[in-house]
């Protein structure tokens, strides 16, 4: 498949991802569901196979050779993640099972330590349920209140409201770096600066940010940054919580068990040091090794190349979609990543998705686990095409032909 605009050897890139060459219903797969999860390069698949077939053994607990190798690979993976997001220290990188688990950890643990009756937590209207519900649960437990930054008609945040939404009662702000439902980029740096003026920490949900551009948690100066391995070309079941040491030191663990302890007696338990205090039980260390390999893959491909390729795809897809009659795009701003969320006339997104599927095109339909932002626009859901660097202009042409087919069948 030749993509004239590609900034790198797209055929070689695509050949790294085995799933991309499969067919569905006899049609070549067009995979535009990268917002939900990304495909895995063979380098990641091989790293996982190697871990299970050459040195698999539980970490941190053994004196034997295989346990040493597994432990060393796991801790090297932590170092790889640290350097990828430019955290100051490995102690600030906690492995979890994903973004959802990371946010739940912070909501529980930060809540236990710092939230009291009447306090406020500030999120935005475009959050994924994973960045709403854990805070809601914590607010219920603590008799605190959830406040919400509203969204403009183009899907951007109404930041003019920040000054009065951040009050002396606000204890933490939690916002997405990029909206999964609309693709809109959130000015998190500006929000962090405003919150820090009042000494309020900020959690950034990077589930849709980490794979689309350089992330430097020190430049960003966020207090917490969370992401999932599976959305950044790594394995499922592994994720990251970055937290500034000053917060993590103070926060209590939220799960008890092996590895997170220093000394256990029936009278009292003392906890392990960071980051192990937050890693109870056997963590998905093979997943961590796979994730580190995915980040190596990104570095070898070049994040700048990825950004350029995705920007080209976004412009092309935007042009073609907008030139197609009867389409309404949600998140209609230039400041977005290569996610296009749209509806075709009055056609239900689910019907459109089914027809596109029969043409081999994988898009996501529905509320994208972000019901409040759908309600904001008075809709139940959209069709979401989420593109990434291994996609091509030719695939966008296939999507456009698919949309025309949907229109011809349903209108
Ligand atoms: N936040 C955002 C912005 C997301 O896009 C997602 C996944 N769609 C999540 C949180 C939850 O991620 P996970 O299911 O991997 O925990």
**What phi-psi label fits residue 137: left (phi over 0), alpha (psi between -120 and 50 degrees) or beta?**
alpha
Alpha-carbon distance of 238 to 102, in angstroms, equals 10
**Are the C-beta atoms of residues 42 and 50 closer than 8 Å to each other?**
no
**Are the C-beta atoms of residues 105 and 96 closer than 8 Å to each other?**
yes
The DSSP code sequence of 377-400 is: TT-S-EEEEE--TT--HHHHHHHH
Q: Which of 100, 102, 368, 372 to mutate to test the pocket of ligand 1 (most atoms within 8 A of CB)?
A: 100
Alpha-carbon distance of 246 to 223, in angstroms, equals 9
Alpha-carbon distance of 228 to 237, in angstroms, equals 8
Cα of 187 vs centre of ligand 1, distance in Å, is 19
Question: Within 10 Å of residue 19's Cβ, how many Cβ atoms?
Answer: 11
Half-sphere exposure of 134 (CA within 13 A, CB side): 22
Q: Where in the chain is the domain with CATH 3.40.640.10?
A: 46-299
Ligand 1 atom 8: the closest Cα is on which residue?
Answer: 36
Q: Which of 101, 207, 230 to mutate to test the pocket of ligand 1 (most atoms within 8 A of CB)?
A: 207
Alpha-carbon distance of 93 to 276, in angstroms, equals 10
Half-sphere exposure of 49 (CA within 13 A, CB side): 7
User: 10-40+302-410, what's its fold?
Assistant: 3.90.1150
Ligand 1 nearest atom to the CA of residue 127, by list position: 3
Q: What are the pocket residues of ligand 1 if the criterion is a CB atom closer than 6 Å to any ligand atom?
A: 98-100, 128, 130-131, 176, 180, 205, 207-208, 228, 369
**Which 3 state secondary structure label does DSSP give 321?**
helix
- Helix (H) or strand (E) segment spanning residue 318: helix 303-322
| Tokens 């580190």 sit on residue | 292
Q: Where in the chain is the domain with CATH 3.90.1150.10?
A: 10-40+302-410
Output the tens digit of pLDDT for each of the chain's 411 residues: 445 556 789 999 999 999 999 999 999 999 999 999 999 999 999 999 999 999 999 998 778 999 999 999 999 999 999 999 999 999 999 999 999 999 999 999 999 999 999 999 999 999 999 999 999 999 999 999 999 999 999 999 999 999 999 999 999 999 999 999 999 999 999 999 999 999 999 999 999 999 999 999 999 999 999 999 999 999 999 999 999 999 999 999 999 999 999 999 999 999 999 999 999 999 999 999 999 999 999 999 999 999 999 999 999 999 999 999 999 999 999 999 999 999 999 999 999 999 999 999 999 999 999 999 999 999 999 999 999 999 999 999 999 999 999 999 998
Alpha-carbon distance of 272 to 156, in angstroms, equals 42
Q: Can 388 be counted among the known catalytic residues?
A: no
The CATH code belonging to domain 46-299 is 3.40.640.10
Ligand 1 nearest atom to the CA of residue 228, by list position: 15
Question: Within 10 Å of residue 219's Cβ, how many Cβ atoms?
Answer: 10
């Amino acid at each position: 498949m030749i993509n004239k605009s590609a900034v790198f050897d797209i055929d070689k890139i695509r050949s790294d991802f085995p799933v991309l060459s499969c067919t569905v219903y006899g049609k070549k797969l067009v995979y535009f569901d990268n917002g939900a999860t990304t495909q895995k390069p063979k380098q990641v698949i091989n790293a996982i196979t190697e871990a299970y077939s050459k040195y698999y053994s539980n970490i941190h607990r053994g004196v034997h050779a295989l346990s040493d190798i597994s432990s060393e690979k796991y801790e090297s993976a932590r170092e790889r993640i640290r350097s990828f997001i430019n955290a100051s220290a490995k102690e600030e990188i906690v492995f979890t099972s994903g973004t959802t688990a990371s946010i739940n950890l912070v909501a529980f643990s930060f809540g236990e330590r710092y939230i009291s009756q009447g306090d406020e937590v500030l999120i935005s209207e475009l959050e994924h349920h994973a960045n709403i519900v854990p805070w809601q649960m914590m607010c219920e437990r603590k008799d605190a209140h959830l406040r919400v930054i509203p969204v403009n008609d183009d899907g951007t945040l109404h930041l003019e409201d920040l000054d009065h939404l951040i009050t002396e009662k606000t204890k933490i702000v939690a916002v997405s770096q990029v909206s999964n439902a609309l693709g809109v980029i959130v000015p998190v740096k500006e929000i962090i600066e405003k919150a820090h003026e009042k000494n309020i920490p900020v959690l950034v949900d990077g589930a849709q940010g980490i794979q689309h551009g350089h992330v430097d948690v020190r430049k960003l100066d966020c207090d917490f940054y969370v992401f999932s391995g599976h959305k950044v070309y790594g394995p499922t079941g592994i994720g990251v919580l970055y937290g500034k040491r000053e917060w993590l030191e103070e926060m209590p663990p939220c799960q008890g068990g092996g590895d997170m302890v220093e000394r256990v007696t029936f009278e009292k338990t003392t906890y392990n040091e960071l980051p192990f205090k937050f890693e109870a039980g056997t963590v998905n260390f093979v997943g961590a090794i796979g994730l580190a390999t995915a980040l190596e893959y990104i570095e070898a491909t070049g994040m700048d190349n990825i950004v350029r390729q995705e920007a080209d795809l976004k412009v092309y897809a935007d042009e073609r979609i907008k030139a197609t009659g009867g389409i309404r795009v949600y998140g209609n701003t230039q400041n977005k990543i290569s996610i296009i969320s749209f509806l075709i006339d009055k056609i239900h997104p689910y019907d459109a998705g089914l027809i596109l599927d029969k043409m081999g095109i994988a898009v996501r339909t529905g509320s994208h686990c972000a019901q409040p932002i759908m309600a904001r626009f008075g809709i139940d859901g959209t069709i979401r095409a989420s593109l990434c660097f291994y996609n091509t202009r030719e695939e966008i042409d296939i999507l456009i032909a698919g949309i025309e087919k949907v229109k011809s069948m349903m209108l």
